[in-house]
Each structure stands twice: as C-alpha cells, then as structure tokens.
Amino acid sequence: MSTPLEDLFTVLRFPSVSTDSSRRDDTRACANWLVEKLRRIGLTTNLHETPGHPVVIAQNEHRPDRRTVLIYGHYDVQPAEPLAEWLTPAFEPTLVGDRIMCRGSADNKGQFMAHVCGVEQALKEHGDLPVNLTFLIEGEEEIGSPNLKPFLLANKELLKCDVVAISDTGMVGEGKGTFTYGLRGIACVEVTVRGPGIDLHSGLFGGSVNNPNMALARLLSTFHDPEGKVTVDGFYDAVRPLADWERDAWAKLGDPAAETQRLTGVPQLFGEAGYTDMERRWARPTAEVNGIGGGYQGEGSKTVIPRSAFAKFSFRLVPDQDPDDILAKVEAHLRKQVAPGVKVEIELGHTGQPYLMDPYSPFGQAAQNALEATFGGKPALIREGGSIPIVQAFRDVLGVDTLLLGLALPDCQAHAPNENYPVANFEAGIRLNQHLLRELAK
C-alpha cells in the first residue's frame, strides 16, 4: 500500500514530455501507470488510443439519480531543459523544505493527483462517492491538445456530465483559495525567412544579398508599437472589455505589480499602455516570440550569412477573439511585410479558445464553497493568463462549464527549471476534492 505522496512521486518520475518524440514510451508508461492506479482504487478504467498520446478515462458506477462530474488533468509535462539550471534532478522528485521539486510537480501532476488521491480516500472511507465521476487525464495538453476535441466529439455519451472541474491553475498566494473564471486562449505561428540556398561567406557576399536574420528582425519589429500595443490590423476588434464587477473584484486583490516584478526579476515591467499588470496578463491579448534562431550560435564569431532564420510566435487571446480569425489576420500582416531578396514561409500552429464563465453560477458558487471549506476565507476570484486549450471545447461539445480550482503557487516555476509544489497544497487538494464533490452533489 502506497501513500498519496509516494504515488505522486511515482507519477513524477515518468519523464512524460509530450513534445519530445524520444519520450514517447515514457509518456505512455505514465498513462499505463495511471490506468493501473485508477483500477486499484476501484474505478472502471480504460486507455483510449488517439493519433498521439493516449487518454486515460476512469469512472465509478454512474447512476441516474446523481450529478455527473468530469475531472480533467494532464499527465504530460513541458521539456525540462535547460537542465543545467536545475538545483535537483528534473525528473527525480526531491523535497526541498516543504516543496516537491520536479518537472510536472505543479503543472499538472501534483494537482490532478490530489484529485485521484482524494477520490481514493473517499472510496476507502465511504465505499462510494457523492457523484458520478469521470476522470479524463490526457497526455497532450502541453502541445495544444490536438487530439482531444475529436475525442470528445467521438465519445460524447461516455463523457456526458453536468460540469467539469480542473486543478491546473494558480492560487493568488499561499493558503489563499482561488477560483479562476477565465483563461486566455492561444494561437501559434512559425515563420521562416529563407534567403540564399546555402550559408554564405559574409565577406564574399555581404552587401549583395539580404540577410535572413535582419529580414526577420525587421518583420518582428512590425508586431508592436513602442508602447506595447499589437499592430496587427483588427487584432483588438473582438476584445471584450472588462466588466465593472471584475474591476471591483480585482481591485480588492491589491496591485500585484511589485510582486510580478519580484517573481520575474525584470528591471521594470513593460506592457500595453493604459492597463494595469493584472489587466495586461488576464484580460488583454498579446503577441509573443517564444523562440528565434538563425545563423551561428556557437562560441566566438563566425562570419556567415545564414540561409534562413525562424521565429516561433504565440498569441494569447481573450474573449471574444477567435483563434482562427486571429491567425488569418496575422498571416495577412506577415504577407504585407515584403522584404526584398528573401522568401517568407508561414506555418500555422495549434490554437485554443479563450474561456470565461460566471463565477456566481450555481456550480461556480459550489466551487467557491469548496474552496472556502478547504482554505478558509472567501476565495479570490480571478482570471488567468495561461491557457488550457480544451476548456472552451468542453462547453462547445459537452455543453458544460469548467470550474478551475488552482493549487499551484505564483512562484511554482511552471515550464521553467526548478518547478515546485508544496506538500501542503497536495494535501489541501485532497481535501478540496472531497469538499468539491460533496458541494457539487447538493
């Protein structure tokens, strides 16, 4: 018999990096372990194949006289690189003080495993749950959930539910119950600028050919004005302004700008003029370059004109922006910037819709009650800047809202080296699961 913490450590040891094809077997092994675990605790569990990483589904007996709750999580993680910056091994969970250090500890294994262990405990103590429960734990969230919406469409009956609950977001601070009622959406694009057929000696040819690195730099510089506003035509057309009640609720949280500066380590915050730090991150769209490359990257200098350069973009979107509409606008913007002597290739990537719900809906209220019972005090009501691409699809396909009850701390370092998650949050998550299922059953 293993303890909840031992189970979490076991899950954390699988390097289930969904984007890395060399980790495919490890990712599948993680899914297989979950199937076994969920079966052992008494749920009917199956591994469902997709064109990518498999989906784990586990259910108790569904009876017509009670509510049905679907709890979503993702067992895939982001790459651990740069490995040299980890203070402990990236895939060996290590306790440092009260924090579990490991890739995936906060995002998302430590959070969804709290629900698994909460259900295990409730089944052990009471032999039953207050609701019909479905666990859906996928392996492709960190690459945009490309196969999950088709899976929902193909399995509507199996996944039928009254509401979805997810712990894959943050808390505003230690011990502060937090209900997230909005997420930003996302749209990704990769741009390649191609010049000469081969890398050229910059002395022999420099001055007579356009340098793809420079052409790319010019292109990138057309995406924002100096005040940080995105300059793609029509980019803000569909942006829904902040509601008055939100402005009031957020004002009560205090201005996190100083804390944001501390967490990020930047010399000064920078963003769209006219908006606060909170508004910029939770309610305004962005254009970011996540990766950029071209030419010589090694030690010393190398006098070369590279044959190509690339940039990987992602756009964070807010209600009511549509990712496909934004991609079309971005493509039109790129096509307008004709640079002489190079060709621009555009590859449209994955997308996810933004999400917004009424936190005072009956289920929203139930979630808030569960947070209050777990953490004490009224929960903070926030939106988040991150994305969980499938959330709006739950509404579109299954017709239900998603309750986001985050358990990660602001300094959890998700996606970065030294990702961490407090043991206390794992334990609180186990209690939260039990309060939540009871509240949702009412």
State the CB neighbour count (10 A cutoff) for residue 291: 10
User: Which of Zn ion, ligand BES, none sits in contact with 132, Cβ below 5 to 8 A by type?
Assistant: none
User: Which of ligand BES, Zn ion, none sits in contact with 189, Cβ below 5 to 8 A by type?
Assistant: none
Q: Distance between CA atoms of 79 and 75, rounded to whole angstroms? A: 13
The yes-or-no answer on residue 81 being catalytic is no
Binding residues for Zn ion restricted to 303-332, rule: CB under 5 A: none
User: Which of Zn ion, ligand BES, none sits in contact with 93, Cβ below 5 to 8 A by type?
Assistant: none
Indicate the DSSP class of residue 162. S
Q: Maximum distance among all alpha carbons in the chain?
A: 80
Closer CB to ligand BES, residue 211 or residue 413? 413
The yes-or-no answer on residue 259 being catalytic is no
Closer CB to Zn ion, residue 132 or residue 169? 169
Closer CB to Zn ion, residue 7 or residue 107? 107
Q: Distance between CA atoms of 152 and 393, rounded to whole angstroms? A: 8
Closer CB to ligand BES, residue 213 or residue 387? 387
CB 393, min distance to ligand BES, A: 12
Applying CB under 6 A, the residues found at the interface with ligand BES are 107-108, 141-142, 144, 168-170, 183, 186, 352, 384, 386-389, 414
386 three-state secondary structure: coil
Q: Distance between CA atoms of 385 and 288, rounded to whole angstroms? A: 13
CB 315, min distance to ligand BES, A: 11
Query: How many alpha carbons fall within 13 Å on the CB side of residue 196?
Result: 18
Q: For the window 102-141, what string marks contact with Zn ion as x by the rule CB under 5 A?
A: -----x----------------------------------
The helix (H) or strand (E) run that includes residue 381 is strand 380-384
Name the active-site residue from 141, 168, 401, 419: 141
Name the active-site residue from 7, 76, 246, 401: 76
Binding residues for Zn ion restricted to 32-51, rule: CB under 5 A: none
Closer CB to ligand BES, residue 169 or residue 374? 169
DSSP letters of 13-47?
HS--BTT-GGGHHHHHHHHHHHHHHHHHTT-EEEE
Instruction: Please list, residue by residue across 412-438, b when 16 or more beta carbons sit within 10 angstroms of its beta carbon and e when fewer do.
Output: bbbeebbbbbbbebbebbbbbbbbbbb
Residues contributing to the site for Zn ion (CB under 5 A): 107
The catalytic site residues sit at: 76, 141
